[in-house]
Amino acid sequence: MSQFSRAARAFAALALAICAGLVAAPAAAQNPPAPVLNAKAWYLLDMTSGQVLAAQGPAERVEPASLTKLMTAYLTFAALKSKSISLEQTVPVSTRAWKAVGSRMFIEPNKPVTVAEAMRGTIIQSGNDSSIALAELVAGSEDQFAAMMNREAQRLGMKNTHFQNATGLPDPQHYTTVEDLARLASALIRDYPDFYPLYSTKEYTYNKITQPNRNRLLWLDPNVDGMKTGHTDSAGFCLIASAKRGPRRLLSVVVGTQTESARSTESQKLLNYGFLGYDAVRLYEKGQNVSALEVWKGESREVKAGFDRELYVTVPKGEAPKLKATLNTQKPLLAPISLGQKIGSMKVTLDGRDIAEIPVVALDKVGAAGFFGRTLDTMRLWFSKK
């Protein structure tokens, strides 16, 4: 039996016992002390549950440096998905792209390069030249691409981010936060799983030049399978790292370290803290019926309620039996009700502290009753309020 199954069964048994008054409330849980990093800001997200496990300066404005290229790749993936470009398509190399400063893939104006090659140059080699070339292909110019980046950032909820270019080269109007970077990185992993494996590639050769992926954790930690490094003199050394152990995926964002090795060691501290100090507990499966709710004015008198995804919560190790879940529903619940419609919420607490609140949805649809049924329920509701 997995640790998730054991913890979920323990949670369910204890919840029933508490409701029956058979056991006393447990002692208050304590979060394990978070590590203090030698960095400007950091953020640790458990993507399995969506919970933040540690953060320093989450909303502080920082320079993203080449972490910017996550958005460059995200929009390139979107263009591929919409079929406005293709992997085999040749990317025109402008003089602007060819003469890009900083890290480069070494593309040339008179040498064909495909979208697939330019993507690898951007993701693995962190090429500024390939990033500009892709931006110009997708949007017509890097300036227009930056406008697309900002629109997408707003759509993703990156409220404290503004992009000025596709590369991450310093600009006063090019900024973000570690919280926004975590939002972007997790969206890329979630929305484009077929392309995400590119971030685990350890080296890439183009134009007879082999360059390694600068993410050292790909060699040091077998659980790490991405994502992106960044560096400028003003931003310091930065790293977004993602690691997966079993069903759990953690995402760390560390910016502003002093050395290339420090960004790896500090990121490793965060990931180890998340994996060793916390458990992700699956409470309910996707589509699992958690309750049957009374329906008024409908063809059916009740509707099954559950979740449109697996429900995980992250808690300090050993604290899963102390979880408590409370179902809050709309009352009165009136038909018609569509499949997947939100009809309530599940609040999960640990020792009185809110851990998560997840929408509860209808697992069936319920049509409206006929005239007589609606009229009868209208009268019943009226009398119930007396």
The type of residue at 223 is N
At 56 the three-state DSSP class reads strand
The C-alpha angle with vertex 130 and arms to 125 and 133, in degrees rounded to 5, equals: 170
The contacts of residue 9 (CB under 8 Å, 6+ apart) are none
Residues 40, 49, 66, 264: which is the catalytic one?
66
**Cα-atom radius of gyration of the chain, to the nearest Å?**
25
Lay out the sheet containing 342-350: strands in order across: 291-294, 302-306, 353-362, 342-350, 323-329
With residue 326 as reference, give the H or E element that holds it.
strand 323-329
Cα separation of 227 and 179, whole Å?
A: 16
Residues 126, 242, 264, 267: which is the catalytic one?
126
Q: Is 126 a catalytic residue?
A: yes
At 355 the three-state DSSP class reads strand
Q: Is 228 a catalytic residue?
A: no
State the virtual CA torsion across 107, 112, 114, 115 in degrees, nearest 10.
60
Residues 40, 69, 269, 297: which is the catalytic one?
69
Other C-beta atoms closer than 10 Å to the C-beta of 88 total 8
Check if the beta carbon of residue 339 is closer than 8 Å to that of residue 308.
no
Check if the beta carbon of residue 298 is closer than 8 Å to that of residue 356.
no
Q: Counting beta carbons within 10 angstroms of the beta carbon of residue 346, is it exposed (0 to 12), middle (13 to 18) or buried (19 or more)? A: buried
The contacts of residue 327 (CB under 8 Å, 6+ apart) are 290, 291, 305, 344, 345, 346, 360
The contacts of residue 165 (CB under 8 Å, 6+ apart) are 68, 142, 146, 171, 174
Cα separation of 46 and 274, whole Å?
A: 8
Q: Is 338 a catalytic residue?
A: no
- Cite the active site residues: 66, 69, 126
